[in-house]
Amino acid sequence: MPAPLNFVHTTRELPDTADAVVIGGGIVGVFTAYYLARRGLKVALVEKGRIGAEQSSRNWGWCRQQNRDARELPMATKSLDLWERFAAENGEDTGFHRCGLFYLSNSEEELAGW
């Protein structure tokens, strides 16, 4: 079951002042703005389209650990931690679930590569 959608009220007007301006309302930008605001900064989040509806719907927030380059694993582990802490801190169902990864191969050559 998907998480409920919470509509974000936006404006085309930029604030007169901000301590930080985050460009891009994807997963990384939204988390950045959220944690800066929690530290007391006045944050402006700028997105050209819809929040979380563009690249974020395809990059999965760097949380996949299977079949990833070993150098990327610390970032994936941190991402999983952030998703879980965010849900716990806010009491909101983000719709995020650990569910594994499934690859299909249609040739013996591809299968041998796994």
Q: How far apart are CA 107 and CA 99, in angstroms?
A: 25
State the pLDDT confidence band at 39, using cuts at 50, 70 and 90: very high
Cα 2 from chain centroid? Answer: 16
Is the pLDDT assigned to residue 57 strictly greater than 90? no
Mean pLDDT value of segment 13-27: 92
